[in-house]
């Protein structure tokens, strides 16, 4: 079984290119069906977050180049461009990478916990889509177990600065008193909930939630004592807010340059703080050039979250030791299932052969019983027939071959049939 992976992340690809390959959770199932059809049905899983999109596959034949071509086509770019901004992995390195991602070692924020939940969601969707087999299921279940051990055994997550906390820190640098700031959150997902939690701790003047569906927005607004508004009302009310944090699953920007220009005019050019946590972008990139707007993307926040990471490098070393052990365990599991040299296929063949012998002897015994033969005699014949079949190979080997071959056979027979302990 071959295992391979293809990915782009915050270290290899710019934000706009990552946006071309971002898949919302509800898109992953249909996308997996298309991927597997194009690659002739391997096991497959897709992990897509604001920082990465990764495809993991397992199959009888490795199809890494076809995977690159498929992903490039889905994002509307050339395979050459994708290769220049992506990474490809095979076999052991795939496991190491998955374990590091799950443990937060490959994240923009070292040790951040959100990625583990995002991976679990993605694997659940892949399982529901029928795209997982035993190999990828083992890979990811082991990655979750390794991540749990890393988090409980090391200080990898201590003092980490999340994207949401970084946004509050930057807002605090722009506004003297966050208690006088009106904050608008666009979206109602996990990242917005996290950002709202951090901002609410600073007691801003007001909080509003703009969301496509009011029900989800109302739930979040109630939690933080804010108001809810329709996404359609956003352009006409944008000028009311000093800070805007957006993270939706929209495939196109929902806050355009014109809307922000009109908002600034209505605000008499009082500054606006804007954070775009979405991939693809929620806010048109041209907004960043406006004089009175301070716009930050997920990549901009990376520089903020890097601070304070030096004191966690010792924890990283500890985590890598745990990951090494996990990789070796997974590779051992893979080796056991190798169709040529693996133990598991041999065990399966041995069980199948034993079942065949048992079936033959049972069928013969039933025929004799149906004829009225004595039960004790039939049972005796059944046991002798099974014994002869099981010992036939060993007896034949003892009678054949040269002295050295016989000596190896003798040792094997002692180990297999004549061991005193059971």
The residues assigned a catalytic role are 50
Exposure string for 155-192, b = 16+ CB within 10 A, e = fewer: ebbeebbbbbbbbbebbeeebeebeebebbbbbbbebb
Alpha-carbon distances, residue 236 vs 55, 161, 187, 224, 267 (angstroms) = 41, 34, 17, 23, 12
Give the neighbor-by-neighbor strand order of the sheet with 2-9. Answer: 43-48, 52-59, 2-9, 87-90
- Provide the token pair at 116: 């583990």
Q: Are 246 and 275 in contact (CB under 8 A)?
A: yes
Determine the Cα–Cα distance for residues 422 and 420; give it in Å rounded to an integer: 6
Q: Are 91 and 3 in contact (CB under 8 A)?
A: yes
Listed residue (88, 13, 87, 62) closest to 299, CA to CA: 13
Determine the Cα–Cα distance for residues 286 and 403; give it in Å rounded to an integer: 84
Q: Are 131 and 32 in contact (CB under 8 A)?
A: yes
């Amino acid at each position: 079984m071959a295992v391979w992976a293809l990915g782009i992340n915050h270290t290899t690809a710019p934000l706009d290119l990552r946006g071309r390959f971002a898949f919302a959770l509800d898109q992953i199932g249909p996308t997996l069906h298309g991927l597997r059809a194009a690659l002739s049905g391997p096991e497959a899983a897709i992990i897509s977050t604001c920082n990465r999109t990764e495809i993991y596959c397992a199959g009888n034949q490795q199809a890494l180049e076809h995977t690159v071509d498929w992903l490039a086509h889905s994002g509307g770019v050339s395979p050459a461009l994708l290769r220049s901004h992506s990474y490809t992995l095979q076999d052991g390195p795939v496991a190491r990478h998955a374990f590091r991602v799950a443990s937060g070692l490959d994240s923009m924020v070292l040790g951040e916990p959100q990625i583990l939940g995002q991976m679990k969601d993605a694997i659940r969707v892949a399982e529901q889509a029928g795209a997982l087999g035993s190999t990828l299921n083992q890979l990811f279940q082991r990655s979750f177990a390794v991540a749990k051990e890393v988090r409980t055994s090391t200080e990898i997550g201590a003092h980490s600065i999340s994207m949401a906390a970084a946004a509050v820190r930057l807002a605090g640098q722009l506004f003297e008193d966050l208690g006088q700031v009106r904050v608008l959150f666009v979206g109602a997902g996990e990242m917005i909930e996290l950002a709202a939690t951090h901002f609410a701790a600073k007691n801003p003047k007001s909080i509003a939630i703009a969301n496509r569906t009011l029900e989800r927005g109302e739930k979040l607004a109630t939690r933080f004592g804010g108001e809810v508004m329709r996404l359609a009302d956003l352009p006409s009310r944008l000028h009311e807010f000093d800070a805007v944090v957006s993270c939706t699953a929209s495939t196109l920007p929902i806050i355009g340059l014109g809307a922000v220009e009109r908002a600034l005019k209505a605000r008499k050019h009082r500054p606006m703080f804007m954070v775009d946590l979405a991939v693809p972008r929620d806010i048109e990139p041209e907004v960043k050039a406006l004089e009175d707007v301070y716009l930050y993307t997920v990549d901009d926040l990376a520089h903020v979250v890097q601070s304070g990471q030096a004191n966690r490098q010792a924890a990283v070393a500890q985590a890598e030791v745990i990951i090494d052990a996990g990789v070796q365990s997974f590779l051992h599991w893979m080796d056991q299932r190798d169709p040529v040299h693996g133990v598991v296929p041999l065990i399966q063949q041995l069980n199948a052969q034993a079942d065949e012998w048992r079936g033959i002897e049972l069928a013969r015994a039933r025929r004799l019983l149906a004829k009225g033969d004595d039960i004790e005699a039939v049972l005796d014949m059944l046991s002798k027939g099974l014994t002869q079949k099981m010992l036939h190979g060993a007896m034949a080997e003892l009678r054949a071959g040269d002295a050295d071959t016989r000596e190896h056979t003798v040792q094997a027979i002692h180990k297999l049939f004549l061991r005193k302990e059971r």
